[in-house]
Chains A and B, each alone.
Chain A
Amino acid sequence: MSLELFVQLLVNGLMSGGMYALVASGFTLILGVIQVFNFAQGEFYMLGAFITYGVVSALGLPYPVAIVAALLGVAILGVLFHFAVIQRTMLHGFFHTMLVTVAFGSLVNQTSLLTFGFRNQVVPPVFSGTVTVGGLTLNPGKLLVIAGALVVMMALYYFMKTKMGTAMLAATENREVAGLQGINAKKVFWITMGVGSALCGVAGALVVPVLSASTTMGANVFTRSMLVVLVGGTGSMAGALLAAFLVGILESFAFQFVGQFSLLAIFVFVAVLMFFRPGGLLGKPLPIPGQ
């Protein structure tokens, strides 16, 4: 394998890894704090991509504005969905909320299918041309995606250090005790939903100049973010970040060498890893009942 190919595959892997990291950390955040298994996460990601496409192509606004629009748009949708549906179904239990997010995801997906059609929608790349580093040609758009993902993850890290972030962690740890300490659970829940959705919106907005927007992109990313959460350990942000890049790079190389068996290769990797590290890479093993 030439160095050129190796670097290209690595960059591709890091780029998809960045996407998986954003979607998966939003997913674990929502799962940990609100205890909602959010199936609509992948569709939120797709919606972020389409909002960016709409703002850039139809309204003719610059790309940074489109990123903010995607972030806010998806976050608002997530919060509205929380107030309208999730808040009510949470009383009935875990399965009802999970199913409601499935239905909502399909609603979002089908609506965008009607609006945008089956064709892939292309946003013009932010930087034209290529960057040459030490004799290697790279696509600057992909590097921008990696940088953007890292910046957003940093922002999330500092957000979790604020008072609201601490309140979220407290609610993850023990909801009742957090309530007794004066944490307003309702407020924490809708903010979590907003942040979790916004992460997906940003991911979609970042990726759209490189990979075009299509209605099937959500399902693909959601599958991979499931793998990421399994590898990284449920509820661990740092684990999710590490696992996302690991899965992204692995997928990129596997696709090059085993083609359509790449998903199977990753699956075997995940299964073996889970066998030896039950709690994921960084998470501590969950208590094993009955053993």
Chain B
Amino acid sequence: MKQENAMSRITKIEMGILLLLIVALPWLINPYVLQILILTITYSMLGLAFAFTLRVGLPRFDIAAWWGVGAYTTALLMQKAHMSFWLTLPIGGIVAMLLGWLVFTIAIPRGMIVFLMFGMVVAMAMQQLFGSIDFFGGWGGTGTVPEPTFGSFTFIHKPELYYLGLFFLFINLLAYWALYNSKIGRAWNAIGSSLKLASSVGVNVVRYRMANVLIGNFFLAIAGSYFVAFSRVAVPDAFGFQNSIFVMMYAVVGGLFHSLLGPILGALIVTFIPEYLRVAREYEPIITAIAMILIILFIPTGILGLYENRVKRWFVRKKPHAGTGQETGVDPEVSA
């Protein structure tokens, strides 16, 4: 039953063509674009985590910090302890969860604004930590990390890494989808749509938010491990606060109320706009910024919102809007 709900967003034929295209992509495009696409997969995972926590009404600005924790855990364990890549994945996730628990016991009970600002500061402090401590390799990064292997197979070429990324993205999507449709997901929806109402019917807001943020941390750390798998090095500058802002852009450009497809689509658009603006050279950041302002001004519902409101109406004949329970907006209550 639930499966049909999710499928109603995109018809099965569209889905099939899309899947075929995604699998065949490494042979259709040049290596440079493939490299950007691999990056985009990582960014989509970050965007998914952002959208995930946005459902409980908390905007995350500490994304880069936990992404970096995952990346550094994997890099250091593989480099210094010669551990298998697959073993470092859960370790990185658990480290990010534990550190997150330590930090968020202070921030989460204080509401959204404090969480937001605290997250910003955490991201900056974490980057500083990576750069300042010699054990982490300093500002120059960790040095080359060995490539991930599976049995005798090594993930070293671009297409293999692309498929590895798709695998991680799929796991992410599956986990988030399952969580959204579970009991805890409904509690999160309730918190996101009205904080006061949710707490008045007995939802423990702080505890549910904490659970959400910590699960998000786990997946962010996995995205960090994947980042190390293809970049083969962890550098503090890669995990700057700026990344967190970009991640927020993915969610808004894709559509804030589409927690699964929105961030992926947004990441594709926001990553590829600057790439194709390279011809504009030094004016590229300016044009990107203006484009962002215009997108937010004129397409506030995001690309997917635009699709549902305008485009879909032409193809789909009179069909009652299927409510999946995911349309519940985020209450912009500043004081909450």
Per-residue CB proximity of B111-132 to A under 8 Å, as 1/0? 1011011101110110011011
State the main secondary structure of chain A at its contact with B: helix
Per-residue CB proximity of A214-238 to B under 8 Å, as 1/0? 0000000001001101100010000
B332 is an interface residue with CB less than 8 A from chain A? yes
List chain B residues, Cβ under 8 A from A270.
121
> On chain A, which size bracket covers the interface?
35 or more
Query: Quick one: which of B59, B129, B205, B292 contacts A289, CB cutoff 8 A?
Result: B205
Q: From known contacts A88-B297, A104-B293, infer whether A274 and B106 are also in contact, taking CB-CB under 8 Å.
A: yes
Residue of B nearest to A271 (CB): B106
State how many angstroms separate the Cβ of A176 from the closest Cβ of chain B. 14
List chain B residues, Cβ under 8 A from A92.
296, 300
Per-residue CB proximity of A254-291 to B under 8 Å, as 1/0? 00000011011001001100110010000000111111
A35–B124 Cα distance when bound, in Å, is: 24
Q: Are A261 and B132 in contact, with the CB atoms below 8 A? A: yes
Interface size counted on chain B using CB atoms at 8 A: 53
A182–B109 Cα distance when bound, in Å, is: 35
Q: Which of B172-180, B248-256, B310-318 contacts A (4 or more CB under 8 A)?
A: B248-256
A257–B176 Cα distance when bound, in Å, is: 46
Q: From known contacts A96-B300, A278-B110, infer whether A37 and B116 are also in contact, taking CB-CB under 8 Å.
A: yes
Q: From known contacts A89-B300, A263-B125, infer whether A286 and B110 are also in contact, taking CB-CB under 8 Å.
A: yes
**B121, B129, B206, B330: most-surrounded residue (chain A CB, <10 A):** B121
Q: Are A99 and B286 in contact, with the CB atoms below 8 A? A: no
Per-residue CB proximity of B285-297 to A under 8 Å, as 1/0? 1101110110011
Q: Are A104 and B296 in contact, with the CB atoms below 8 A? A: no
Q: Are A288 and B110 in contact, with the CB atoms below 8 A? A: yes
A290–B198 Cα distance when bound, in Å, is: 9
Give chain B's interface residues, CB within 8 Å of chain A.
Answer: 54, 59, 103, 106-107, 109-111, 113-114, 116-118, 120-122, 124-125, 128-129, 131-132, 195-196, 199, 203-207, 245, 248-249, 252, 256, 282-283, 285-286, 288-290, 292-293, 296-297, 300, 329-330, 332, 334-336
Give chain A's interface residues, CB within 8 Å of chain B.
Answer: 31, 35, 37, 39, 85, 88-89, 92-96, 98-100, 102-104, 106-107, 110-111, 114, 223, 226-227, 229-230, 234, 260-261, 263-264, 267, 270-271, 274-275, 278, 286-291
